[in-house]
Amino acid sequence: MERGSGYQAMLAKIDRLRELNVGSMIPLPQLVVVGDQSSGKSSVLESLTGFSFPRGTGLCTRYATQITCCRDALSSVAVSIIPRPDADDELKAKLLAFRRELTEICNDELTKIFQDANAAMGIRMGSEDSTSGAGAFSEDILKIEIYGPDQDHLTVIDVPGIFPVPTPGLTTEMDIKLVENMVKRYMDNSRTIILAVMPCNVDIATQEIPKLAKAADPEGIRTMGVLTKPDLALEKATRGAVLDLRTQAEKVFFSSPEWVGVIERCGVYFLKERLRHLLVRISKEEFPNVKADIDQRLRRAETALEGMGPARADHGAQRLYLGRIATRFQAITTSALSGHYAGNDIFKDSPRLKLITRIMRLHTTFSHVFAQSSHLQKFDAALDEAEELGTCALPFEIDLEAYSELQDIIVTEEYKCPDPVDKPIIDEIRETYQASRGPELGTFGGTVLSSVAIVLVHDYINVLLETLCPEEEVCSQLWQGFLVERLVQQYRQAMSHARFLLSIERKQPATFNHYFNHILQKKRSDRFTRAMEKLAINCTNYNGTNDTSLECVPLHQLRNGAETKDNEEQVCEDVLDTFTSYYKVARKRFVDVVYQQAIWHYLLADPEGPLKVFDADMVMRLTDEQLEEIAGEGEESKQRRASLSREVESLKAALRVIRS
């Protein structure tokens, strides 16, 4: 059996981790004794540790008991309490102050110590306490340290025995479930050795412990069964027997012939050897993993605690907390608008925060759709030129109904721009000329684009705020109580301006863009060229060296072609060329100004726009009442902060223990 100093030190470190309540956060290698009430569990513990539990009314196990045997020159027993993980500072100090020491084991003294421990934990001891509000069981751990020259390092955890029915005045149905859950929690720990105690005088099919052990450890790798009471010795006379006499009686009992074949599995000596070997093996295998788990858990706890910011007991701390969030918000927004995503993991973790990329992809799609479908009717096929090619589908999924506060601002109906009618617009121009009415051109405006852009900006602000402000209550108060109303006002301005731009384009056409005249002259030239191509004939040109074949238009044909076109046709063609040229200029202009003004200015870059609503200046303008409403630390937040602080403190202490 391995009993070197390294083995002793490793097990001692694990015990120290358990005292720091690390076991409630990280599974620790441990030996847990489980069994039904009256299964002989106490006798097994006494045999393993040499510690005899006091006997008396109401002194059954009411909590987990950690019994640690340590080799020492002097014999002594120390009893203390490890507070439950969620104990507040006052209760924790009270429980840690409980400590009793004995130089020899005396049942009367132990009984008094256990009664005092029960009182310190707030445990109800009898029917007279049933109305006091105290519980019959506790999540605290009673720690018993046994020192002596003959002790080997061994830690055993005893948990309350499972019982099927409540005892009037002592336990309730809720206590049954509480104990069962406590036992399951210890057994489900993947690093727990389960010592399942089962009496021979009870049908195993009726016992609960084998079923729980099977559920927790299906392959039985970390489960060891212990059968008690093989001699059915239930006489009261044997209950007070000293340990040495009991050990002698055990040897005599198992020396009979029927036990010879399994002698290495009989008796306390072989049980202790097997348990030590199993505990050392599992501890060696799992100790590096325990350290890794503690490191990981500590990082998570520190990140969560850092995300909560400093305690916000006064208005100055509250303003500082919100100011830091606002400063980070603006710094990240600067990167989100410039497209500088490298070096900040927030964009990797949440691609929805790549705002300018999403806006540019959206506007590119809008430009393609506008070029292909913004006119009601097709132009003359002969005059049409190849328009911009590109996908007309949205580059990413956008839920326009995700934010209820935007529903009366944006266009939420699903919109698919219809293809232009396959009827040359020259016919419409001719009808208009004949009826003297203004030509109509069907378009869809920038309100659709602005609606989607508003959702992208709103979603960006919401996601970034939730990321930077992990405290749900603060985030909700800031979002719903202060930001949404101001954001909605900004969105209304953007939508109003998009509609204004559309209304301008629907009024008197006007442009000073030289591109208009360039397109117009080119279209007239192309129209004349196509007309002449119909009149052209092949002719041969002799230049003295060789003959060259050319297409020529006879002069009389040229004169006849010009004379045969009536006034109406000429006017309609001129209108078509002018209209087409102006449309190209106006279309490109509209796409640009919608982006530059309605989106870039009103939604992205305006110093008073949505992305600037939450900044350090806004935080500085908040009144004390508003600060308290937004960032005041509620009871739930205080409890979470205290819990995280205790967790970080315990985990840091645990790492110091491991590295010592």
**What digits encode the pLDDT tens for the residues 192-217?**
999 998 888 888 888 888 899 999 99
What is the distance, to the nearest Å, from the Cα of residue 616 to the centroid of all Cα atoms in its chain? 27
Average pLDDT over residues 643-647: 89
Cβ-in-10-Å burial (0-12, 13-18, 19+) of 50 comes to: middle
Residues 290-314 have a mean pLDDT of: 89
When the pLDDT of each residue in the chain is averaged and rounded to a whole number, the result is 79
Does residue 589 carry a pLDDT above 50?
Answer: yes
pLDDT above 90 for 544: no
Q: What pLDDT was estimated at residue 229?
A: 78
Q: Identify which of 73-82, 103-112, 245-254, 363-372 has the greatest average pLDDT.
A: 73-82
Distances in whole angstroms, Cα of residue 527 to Cα of each of 380, 382, 383, 521, 542? 11, 9, 8, 10, 30
The pLDDT assigned to 640 comes to: 86
Q: Ranked by mean pLDDT, which of 102-111, 222-231, 504-513, 643-652 comes out on top?
A: 643-652
CA–CA dist 518, 513 (Å, integer): 9
How many alpha carbons fall within 13 Å on the CB side of residue 89?
Answer: 7
- Percentage of the chain surpassing pLDDT 90? 25
Give, for 243, the enclosing helix (H) or strand (E).
helix 243-254
The full set of domain ranges for the chain reads 5-229+267-303+649-659, 315-632
CATH of domain 5-229+267-303+649-659: 3.40.50.300
Helical (H) or strand (E) element with 439: none
Checking if the pLDDT of 348 tops 80, the result is yes
Per-residue pLDDT at 511 exceeds 80: no
The top-scoring range by mean pLDDT among 41-45, 192-196, 249-253, 325-329 is 325-329
Q: What is the 3-state secondary structure (H, E, C) of 624-651?
A: HHHHHHHHCCCHHHHHHHHHHHHHHHHH
Dihedrals phi, psi of 41, to nearest 5 degrees: -60, -45
Mean pLDDT of 169-184: 85
Q: What is the pLDDT of residue 382?
A: 44
Tell me the pLDDT band of 326, cut-offs 50, 70 and 90.
Answer: very high
In the predicted structure, residue 570 carries a pLDDT above the cut 60: yes
pLDDT at 375: 65
